[in-house]
């Protein structure tokens, strides 16, 4: 009874709880939060010092007693307590300017396709522990397809590549469900590590994660017609231990990341090979849709289209596809409830 009462004063929320970023959609308002999924913790007091962008600014700069962590790994909770506190922080932040002493919102969250029932239950429990009155789960590629306004409830083939921070999920969707899929632990954060490794091997320089991410954003490309201006990068010389600056060009960044991009394309090919021929024929005609932050990698659509001989389209604002999809489900929960996953408690119990 009290949960329903507090729920009337709460704002229903859609979450894209990603490895790299967390986005929050508020019913009737749209996207109100887009922050890194990073939490800074004081290990001496076990207190949360910062969440999101503020915590990201501490990455690589904090003293030993402060841990700056990502509580989500490959879209899965790796630290339950920190994830719960992070979700609570975002729920409280949304309700801060409104009269809601104890916010109890309904929440829709996108989760990866290949999570176990135990991992699904962990997401439900963490969100309920953070203050939600109800938790509804939806598969991330399905949410992304809804956000991209694909006709997934029709009997037709819709192929989407959700290229996130921790995982890339490739799915063929028809009649509201996933027909075939491939999920790989190969996302934007892996490309950052590829750049760090490349610079280490070729320049004997150790870069920080933020510097590698900036190189990926400014110089990242996988097509030869995407040549960009050179950039300076600073790090620690592995021989002397002293600071050093180098110049990096777009060709070097392409060389660093291309191996994992080709693995992604092979995964798309494998998914098509598992797909019923009627759906493949429709995908060949309609094309493949790219979403997620990785969709912004220059030339990725051209490379995939060239390798597979299928048109590739980048959805509008690919970074927000999943959270927009959860928001659209929130706005029409009664009609779209069949797209949601059953509660993990029902399956485990």
Q: Same domain for 34 and 95? A: yes
Q: Same domain for 192 and 181? A: no
**The predicted structure's pLDDT at residue 217:** 94
Q: Same domain for 35 and 128? A: yes
Would the CA dihedral through 236, 239, 244, 249 be positive or negative?
negative
Q: Same domain for 335 and 302? A: no
Q: How far apart are alpha carbons 58 and 111 in whole angstroms?
A: 27
**The predicted structure's pLDDT at residue 24:** 93
Q: What is the CATH number of the domain that holds 82?
A: 3.30.420.40
Q: Where are the beta strands (DSSP E) in 231-277?
A: 231-237, 243-248
**The predicted structure's pLDDT at residue 172:** 97
Q: Same domain for 294 and 173? A: yes
Q: How far apart are alpha carbons 175 and 265 in whole angstroms?
A: 25
pLDDT tens digits for the chain (349 residues)? 444 544 455 789 999 988 889 999 998 888 999 999 999 999 998 888 999 899 999 988 889 899 998 988 877 888 888 889 898 988 888 887 655 566 788 999 999 988 889 989 999 999 999 889 999 999 999 999 999 999 999 999 999 999 999 899 999 999 999 999 999 988 999 999 999 999 999 999 999 999 999 999 999 999 776 667 899 999 999 999 999 999 999 999 999 999 999 999 999 999 999 999 999 999 999 999 999 999 999 999 999 999 999 999 999 999 999 999 999 999 888 888 889 988 876 555 4
**The predicted structure's pLDDT at residue 9:** 53
How many structural domains compose the chain? Answer: 3
Last residue of a domain, one of 233, 256, 279: 256
Q: According to the annotation, is 218 in a ligand binding site? A: no
Q: How far apart are alpha carbons 332 and 322 in whole angstroms?
A: 16
Would the CA dihedral through 39, 192, 109, 182 be positive or negative?
negative
**The predicted structure's pLDDT at residue 184:** 92
Determine the structural domain holding residue 330 and report its residue range. 2-143+322-348
Last residue of a domain, one of 256, 277, 310: 256
Q: According to the annotation, is 20 in a ligand binding site? A: yes
Q: Same domain for 134 and 169? A: no
Q: Same domain for 115 and 39? A: yes
Q: According to the annotation, is 176 in a ligand binding site? A: no
Q: According to the annotation, is 214 in a ligand binding site? A: yes
Q: Same domain for 246 and 153? A: no
Q: How far apart are alpha carbons 345 and 118 in whole angstroms?
A: 9
**The predicted structure's pLDDT at residue 5:** 45
Q: According to the annotation, is 216 in a ligand binding site? A: yes
Q: Same domain for 180 and 193? A: no
Last residue of a domain, one of 237, 256, 275: 256
Q: According to the annotation, is 296 in a ligand binding site? A: yes
Q: Same domain for 77 and 201? A: no
Q: According to the annotation, is 19 in a ligand binding site? A: yes
Q: How far apart are alpha carbons 192 and 222 in whole angstroms?
A: 14
Q: How many CB atoms lie within 10 A of CB 349?
A: 7
- Residues 30-46: b if buried by 16+ CB within 10 A, e if exposed: ebebebbbbbbbeeeee
Q: According to the annotation, is 167 in a ligand binding site? A: yes
Q: Same domain for 26 and 131? A: yes
The token pair at 63 is 């003293």
Q: According to the annotation, is 177 in a ligand binding site? A: no
Q: Same domain for 39 and 52? A: yes
Name beta bridge partners: 34.
23
Strand order in the sheet with 168-174: 177-184, 168-174, 158-163, 288-291, 312-314
Q: What is the CATH number of the domain that holds 240?
A: 3.90.640.10
């Amino acid at each position: 009874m009290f949960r329903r009462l507090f729920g009337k004063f709460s704002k229903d929320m859609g979450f894209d709880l990603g490895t790299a970023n967390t986005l929050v959609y508020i019913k009737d308002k749209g996207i109100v939060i887009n922050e890194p999924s990073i939490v800074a913790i004081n290990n001496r007091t076990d207190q949360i010092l910062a969440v999101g962008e503020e915590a990201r600014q501490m990455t690589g700069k904090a003293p030993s007693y402060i841990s700056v962590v990502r509580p989500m790994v490959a879209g899965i909770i790796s630290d339950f307590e920190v994830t719960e506190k992070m979700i609570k922080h975002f729920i409280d932040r949304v309700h801060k300017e409104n009269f809601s002493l104890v916010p109890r919102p309904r929440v829709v969250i996108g989760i990866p396709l290949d999570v176990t029932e135990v991992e699904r239950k962990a997401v439900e429990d963490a969100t309920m522990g953070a203050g939600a009155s109800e938790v509804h789960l939806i598969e991330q590629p399905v949410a992304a397809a809804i956000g991209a306004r694909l006709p997934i409830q029709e009997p037709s083939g819709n192929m989407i590549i959700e290229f996130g921070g921790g995982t890339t999920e490739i799915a063929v969707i028809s009649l509201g469900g996933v027909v075939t899929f491939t999920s790989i632990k190969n996302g934007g954060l892996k490309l950052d590590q590829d750049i760090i490794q490349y610079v280490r091997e070729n320049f004997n320089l150790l870069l920080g994660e933020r510097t590698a991410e900036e190189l990926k954003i400014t110089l990242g490309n996988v097509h030869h017609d995407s040549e960009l201006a050179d950039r300076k990068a600073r790090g620690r010389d592995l021989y002397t231990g002293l600071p050093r600056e180098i110049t990096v060009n777009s060709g070097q960044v392409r060389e660093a990341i291309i191996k994992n991009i080709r693995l992604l394309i092979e995964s798309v090919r494998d998914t098509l090979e598992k797909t019923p021929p009627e759906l493949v024929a429709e995908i060949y005609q309609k094309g493949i849709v790219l979403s997620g932050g990785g969709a912004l990698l220059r030339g990725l659509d051209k490379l995939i289209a060239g390798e597979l001989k299928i048109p590739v389209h980048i959805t509008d604002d690919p970074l927000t596809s999943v959270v927009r999809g959860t928001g659209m489900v929130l706005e029409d929960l009664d009609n779209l409830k069949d797209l949601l996953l059953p509660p993990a408690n029902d399956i485990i119990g």
